[in-house]
Amino acid sequence: MAQAAKGKLNFRCPRCFMRDIDIDMFFDADKKEYYCLRCNFRGTEEEVEALNEQVKEKYGRLRERVTDFGADNRPPVFAPHRRGEQ
Amino acid sequence: MDNLFALNIIHRPELSPEYAERALGGRKDVRDESLDIFLFQQSAAHENGLKTTIQITYASLFSDKIVEIAKEHHGIYGDEIGLSLLGLPCKQFREKYKTEDFCIWMFDEETKKQIVDDCFSLFFEKFGFYPESTGSYFLDAFTINYIKKKYPSVKCAVATCWEEGPKAYHTCNNSWYTFMDGGPWNPWIPSKVNSHCPASGKEDDSGIVAIPHLSRDLMACFDGNGSNFGTHPQNVLRGMIYYKDGDSVEYPYLYNLIDEYRHLAKYNDGYCYNMMFVGPGWLNRAGRWEAPYELLAKSYRDGMKYYGKLKKEGKCVDMTMSEFADFYRERHPDYRRGECALWKDILYGSDKEYFWYADPALRCCLDFNQGGAMIDLRPYIARIPQETGIGTDSVWDASYPYLIQANYRAGYFTHYAGAGTVKSCKVHYHGQSADLCLCRTMASFRRTEGGVEITADPVTVLLDGLAIVIRSVFFFEDGTGKVLTRREIVNDLHGEEVEFEEYFTGGFGTTEYQPDMTKLTLGVGKEEFPFTYHGKKLSGKGTAHVSIPDVYTRVEMGGEADLCEVEEGIAFSPVYHLRASKKITKGAFETWLRLQREN
Ligand SMILES: [Zn+2]
């Protein structure tokens, strides 16, 4: 097989991203899969994208907008964010 | 004074940005693409009625086109033309300096001076004046002092990237050597001796106002990768902090973060600050971090749009860097006043709250999710005379040392044995003990005479059936290196006696790994002993103290204690302990922590 190359969008390894490591994956054209040089992950673009959605689960306020920072000793107040709104 | 949210927007044209060069694999159109990115960023700001500071790079000084555009934008939009010490790499630079290095703080002293002179004289040649602002990811005191002496027109500089250190290194697969942890998160006047430390007065004033390279999330960056959580739209994309709604990509976190910075006015006499400084590599046509160019560009436009909206609503004042320096000095006549940030989680959905404090004597973080435990402490009062670059003992590590860093050095939780670095309080009753690190709470802020007072909401400790309600109050004295801690018993213990043990478990260093500790001396009152890793203890009536020559620091702890104690760590747990204890039935136990410079 020929050597692997970068994919079209510099996909990072989703498993490594979950442990706070940014490492670009390489694409194996023969097997049509991305793979990581550091951990043991390998997967298709769809698998990478699905894991990237899992990555975001740690951001509990991902879809929320702060409406008030409130009293010092209270958490901020959030509301659902609406598309296009700042 | 009215609230004022000051904003700096900075653009640097690069003719061969390192990222673009690598991403495009040396394609021929890197130059044109770089110019396009710069023009795009400029127009995104101008369309939203915002002025910028154009930080000209060495490489772009060789482009007549860039010079012409900068002059034009200065004339039309009032943009400032500054000079960046980033963006050095180009053919001319490599030929002249015969190096692939590009970080100004990593060169030897002679080369630092040569590069500065080269950049400033070429700038003068092209523009006919010397710049008022400059910058890099990090500027050491040596370079700032040299610039200020030789080019006194400079009054503002980008001088650090907050908490970029071991975390950034690890995130970048251990390849990114930007170690500059330990500085202030918001603008400051750097000391002449060490640029991390805010100046203590006129004689220590380096003559410039420093700004950070990004306005970063003061909670997310303490544990996670700094380059995901800043007022930098592409950092937010890098962190994957966005969601898709149909064909649109949304990132409310970016606006929440900007708003949290605005909220900091409450703790800083109505002043708050933000900056956005996106290098061109983040906006290249090949896309980055799984994001296509269109999304990179949209997020940048959205960032500018939000600042523009705030400006239109009268909630934001855009300034150039030199304008900001003048404003900052006017607004901060007292060098000793602490910069404060009571920071709430806006990202993960916890109710965590940190209190960050920085003044000329110390930088510190209290974690109210751990009862107000001190989880980070930097002894600015020591003015550690650090040198960085080739030819010094520290070629790449420019971080300011910590005494406490609970994430690098374990904090409350350790495996099996030993102790991590943290300052907290233990409560003892009938042979049972509890640590306030395990009492989650939140706190309120108040400016008082000569300092700031942070009061935690009371927490309850339950020991052998006795409920003890405790309120912790922390008082930071402006610029003295002294922190008072009061543990108040709020409920009636009906005469039962409990023991409070205020403790400070410290180390020192800039990374996760503790350097040798055998130069330390521990003591209580006048009695002392050298550190030998044998777990030796000493207690008595006097003040507990430790001297750490490696970081020019002496730490003292005392108060209305029955007993003070010091203990050295062991090889498996290389730390030192200072303790102050008192038995009480009601009222409060007050202790103080004092940092001092010691040679
Ligand atoms: Zn991996």
Contacts of B442 in chain A (CB under 8 A): 72-75
Q: Does residue B323 have a pLDDT over 90?
A: yes
CATH for B449 = 2.70.98.10
Percent of chain B with pLDDT over 90: 92
| B229 inside domain | no
- For every residue of B542-591, DSSP letters joined together read S-EEEEEGGGTEEEEEEES-SEEEEEEEETTEEEEEEEEEEEESSSEEEE
Which pLDDT belongs to residue B1? 54
pLDDT at position B226 is: 83
Segment B9-20 mean pLDDT: 76
What's the mean pLDDT in B530-541?
97
The amino acid that residue B542 corresponds to is G
Per-residue pLDDT at A76: 98
Whether B260 sits inside 8 A of A23 (CB atoms) is: no
Does pTM surpass 0.95?
yes
Does the residue B223 lie in any domain?
Answer: no
* Listed range (B16-20, B317-321, B361-365, B468-472) with the worst mean pLDDT: B16-20
CA of A38 to the centre of ligand 1 (A): 5
Question: B456 to chain A, minimum CA–CA distance in Å?
Answer: 8
Q: What CATH number is associated with residue B132? A: 3.20.20
pLDDT for residue B85 is more than 60? yes
Tell me which residue in B348, B444, B445 faces A61 most closely, judged by beta carbons: B348
Tell me the pLDDT band of B237, cut-offs 50, 70 and 90: very high
B331, B466: one domain:
no
**Which of chain B's residues have a Cβ under 8 Å away from the Cβ of A12?**
289-290
CA–CA distance, B16 with B45 (Å, rounded to integer): 22
Task: Give the C-alpha separation, A64 to A44, whole Å.
Answer: 31
Q: Given an 8 Å threshold on Cβ–Cβ distance, is A71 in contact with B305?
A: no
Residues of chain A neighbouring B255 (CB-CB closer than 8 A): 65, 86
* B242 pLDDT more than 80: yes
Establish if B127 touches chain A: CB-CB under 8 angstroms: no
One domain, residues B322 and B436: no
The C-alpha atoms of residue B246 and residue B91 are separated, in whole angstroms, by 45
CA of residue A39 to ligand 1 center, whole Å: 4
| pLDDT score at B34 | 83
Q: Is residue B319 situated within a structural domain?
A: yes
B108: left (phi over 0), alpha (psi -120 to 50) or beta: beta
Identify whether residues B364 and B321 lie together within a single domain: no
Q: What is the ipTM of this complex?
A: 0.97
Phi then psi dihedrals of residue B439, to 5 deg: -110, 105
CA distance B135 to B142: 13
Asked whether residue B438 falls in the same domain as residue B372, the answer is yes
Q: Tell me the average pLDDT across B264-278.
A: 96
Same domain for B114 and B170: yes
Q: State the average pLDDT for chain B.
A: 95
* Gap from CA of A14 to ligand 1 centroid (Å): 7
B32 vs B137, residue with greater confidence? B137
Beta-carbon contacts of residue B164 (< 8 Å; ≥ 6 apart): B137, B178, B179, B180, B181, B226, B227
DSSP per residue over B440-507, as a string? ---EEEEEETTEEEEEEPPEEEEETTEEEEEEEEEEEETTTSEEEEEEEE-S--TT--EEEEEEEEE-
Residues B383 and B480 in one domain: yes
Q: Is residue B252 part of a domain?
A: no
Of A11, A56, A66, the CB nearest to B259: A66
Domain assignment of residue B202, yes or no = yes
Helix then strand then coil, in percent of chain A rounded to 5, is 20, 25, 55
The rounded percent of chain A whose pLDDT value lies above 70 is 99
B413 touching chain A per CB within 8 A: no
**Residue B74 domain flag:** yes
Q: Which residue of A has its CA nearest to B262?
A: A69
Contact yes or no for A20 and B259 at CB 8 A: no
Q: Which of B24, B167, B173, B455 to mutate to test the interface with A (most CBs of A within 10 A)?
A: B173
pLDDT tens-digit series, residues B367-386: 999 999 999 999 999 999 99
**B328/B387 same-domain check:** no
Strands A33-35 and B363-367, by their bridges, are unpaired
d(CA B108, CA B93): 16
Query: Total structural domains in chain B?
Result: 2
Interface touch B290/A86, C-beta < 8 Å: no
User: Ligand 1 centroid vs A55 CA: distance in angstroms?
Assistant: 13
Min Cα distance B284 → chain A (Å) is: 12
Give the range of the structural domain holding residue B104, as residue numbers without chain letter: 4-216+275-281+315-335
- Do residues B16 and B141 share a domain? yes
Query: Which residue in chain B is spatially nearest to A19 when comparing CA positions?
Result: B171
Q: Answer whether B171 sits within 8 Å of A75, measured CB to CB.
A: no
Residue B16 scores a pLDDT above 80: no
Residue closest to B7 by CA, chosen among B353, B221, B265, B338: B265
Q: Are residues B512 and B587 in the same domain?
A: yes
Q: Report CB contact under 8 Å: B172, A69.
A: no
Give which of B371, B587, B559, B375 is closest to B472, Cα–Cα.
Answer: B371
Tell me, what's the pLDDT at B419? 96
Q: Are residues B470 and B564 in the same domain?
A: yes
Average pLDDT over residues B536-564: 97
- Best to test chain B binding among A12, A38, A51, A66 (most B CBs inside 10 Å): A66
What's residue B30's pLDDT?
61
Q: How far is CA B57 from CA B27, B34, B63, B121, B383, in A?
A: 21, 12, 10, 13, 31
Contact B255 A74 (CB under 8 A): no
Give the tens place of pLDDT for each residue, B447-492: 999 999 999 999 999 999 999 999 999 999 999 999 999 999 999 9
Same structural domain, B322 and B355: no
Q: Which residues of B touch A61 (CB under 8 A)?
A: 253, 256, 345-349
> Average pLDDT in the A35-58 region?
96
Helix (H, G, I), strand (E, B) or coil at B84: coil
Shared domain for B326 and B389, answered yes or no, is no
- In the prediction, which pLDDT does B599 show? 81
- The secondary structure element, H or E, covering residue A43 is strand A42-43
Tell me whether residue B306 is in a domain. Answer: no
* Chain B, window 343-382: residues with a beta carbon less than 8 angstroms from a chain A beta carbon: 344-351, 353
> In this predicted structure, what is the pLDDT of residue A6?
81
- Summarize pLDDT for B500-527 with one digit per residue, the tens: 999 999 999 999 999 999 999 999 999 9
The Cβ of residue B407 has, within 10 Å, a number of other Cβ atoms equal to 15
